[in-house]
């Protein structure tokens, strides 16, 4: 019982502390703008750490980009305009989710396509095997029938 | 082996070949996969006007980068690799290549001391105190060096310090190519 309680307390504490790197002096006064800034920051890659978003990363570049995102939001840019601003300077790699474009179709569709091809292959193989097993064997020729009977007579207990 | 059985094997062999080539490039070829290509290649230099480092009178603006092939180096006195690469910049400056500097997030006294100690290869230096201009150039680490052509277009971006080998194998050929 006490262990269960301890576990619940730990989980509750963990739930209260999402990891992010936004510092108090960056937070915007307008909560709606700040919420948009946070959402957008989660989609932008920190190029120093490269597998963290700028929302999570404590690198100086991440902080600069967070401040930049907030400044552009305050200046009235739409979400798309802010993202475009950053992508224009840093390229597609700054987006944590690659854009869906002809150059990235293979990346997006590839895994699903290969999975479908694999499933298709298994289905085809299974069907062929089943029809091969279900097929009536050709009837025995007279010669083979005599040999079969001889073998069975040998095997039958005396 | 039945033809149908060969298909998954062929697929695997193809993917394995692609991975093998890629691994060879990273391993024996020395390719650094954390280096990202610049999004500013072939684009005009961003519009900017940086003040001089306090105590100097130069400063750096977009207009300064037109008319000849030049290098723009983003550096700071607190940046170790910048210190290591500095002699290469001095060499290029002595050969007559215009080298411009963007001094990033630095204390004026420290920057001036750095130049006094190691020499000043920069024809002009702009002080980017908050790093905003560097973001306009797509800079994500220091040092970075850009090759700008005579029409004011960015033609190449070098991430990290330029070592002597890279000076001869990368930078000089690009300077020659862009000058044509």
Residues of chain A with C-beta less than 8 angstroms from the C-beta of B138: 89-91
Q: Residue B130: closest CA among chain A residues belongs to which residue? A: A64
Judged on CB neighbours under 10 Å (0-12, 13-18, 19+), B114 is buried
Q: Is B36 on the interface with A (CB under 8 A)?
A: yes
Residues of chain A with C-beta less than 8 angstroms from the C-beta of B8: 118, 121
Tell me the shortest Cα–Cα distance from B138 to chain A, in angstroms. Answer: 5
Interface size A-B, in CB pairs within 8 Å, comes to 44
Strands of chain B (E only): list them. 49-50, 60-61, 70-75, 99-104, 124-128, 144-148, 154-159
Residues of chain A with C-beta less than 8 angstroms from the C-beta of B137: 89
- Per-residue pLDDT 10s for chain A (158 aa) are 889 898 888 888 776 656 688 888 888 888 888 999 999 999 999 998 888 999 989 899 999 999 999 999 999 889 999 999 999 999 988 999 888 888 888 888 988 998 998 899 889 888 888 887 877 777 778 888 888 888 988 887 76
Structure confidence by residue, pLDDT tens digits, B76-92: 999 999 999 999 999 99
- A87 contacts B4? CB cut-off 8 A: no
Residues of chain B with C-beta less than 8 angstroms from the C-beta of A61: 131, 140-141
**Sign of the four-CA dihedral B54, B58, B63, B65:** negative
Q: Residue A84: closest CA among chain B residues belongs to which residue? A: B39
Mutate to test the interface with B, among A70, A75, A89 (most CBs of B within 10 A): A89
Distance CA A87, CA A5 (A): 48
Structure confidence by residue, pLDDT tens digits, B129-153: 999 999 999 999 999 999 999 999 9
Residues of chain B with C-beta less than 8 angstroms from the C-beta of A92: 39
- A91 contacts B37? CB cut-off 8 A: yes
Q: What strand order describes the sheet that includes B124-128?
A: B124-128, B99-104, B70-75, B144-148, B154-159
């Amino acid at each position: 019982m006490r262990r269960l309680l301890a576990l619940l307390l730990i989980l509750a504490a963990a739930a209260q502390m999402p990891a992010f790197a936004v510092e108090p002096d960056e937070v915007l006064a307008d909560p709606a703008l700040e919420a948009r800034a946070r959402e957008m920051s989660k989609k932008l890659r920190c190029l120093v750490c490269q597998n963290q978003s700028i929302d999570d990363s404590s690198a100086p570049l991440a902080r600069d980009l967070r401040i930049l995102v907030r400044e552009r939001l305050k200046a009235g840019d739409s979400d798309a305009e802010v993202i475009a601003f950053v992508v224009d300077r840093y390229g597609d790699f700054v987006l944590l989710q690659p854009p869906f474009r002809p150059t990235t179709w293979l990346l997006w569709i590839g895994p699903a396509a290969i999975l479908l091809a694999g499933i298709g292959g298994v289905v085809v193989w299974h069907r062929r095997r089943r029809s091969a097993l279900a097929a009536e064997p050709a009837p025995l020729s007279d010669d083979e029938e005599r040999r079969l009977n001889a073998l069975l007579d040998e095997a039958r207990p005396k | 082996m039945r033809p149908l059985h060969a298909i998954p094997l062929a697929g695997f062999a193809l993917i394995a070949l692609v991975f093998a080539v890629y691994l060879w490039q990273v391993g024996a070829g020395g390719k650094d996969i954390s280096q990202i290509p610049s999004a500013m290649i072939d684009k005009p230099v961003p519009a900017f006007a940086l003040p001089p480092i306090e105590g100097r009178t130069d400063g750096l603006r977009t207009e300064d980068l037109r008319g000849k092939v030049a290098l723009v180096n983003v550096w700071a006195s607190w940046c170790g690799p910048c210190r290591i690469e500095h002699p290469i910049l001095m060499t290029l400056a002595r050969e007559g290549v215009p080298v411009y500097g963007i001094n990033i997030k630095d204390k004026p006294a420290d920057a001036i001391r750095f130049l006094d100690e190691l020499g000043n290869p920069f024809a002009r230096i702009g002080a980017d105190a908050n790093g905003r201009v560097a973001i306009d150039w797509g800079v994500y680490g220091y040092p970075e060096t850009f090759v700008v052509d005579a029409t004011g277009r960015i033609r190449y971006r070098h991430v990290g310090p330029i070592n002597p080998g890279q000076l001869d194998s990368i930078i000089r050929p690009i300077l020659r190519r862009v000058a044509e």
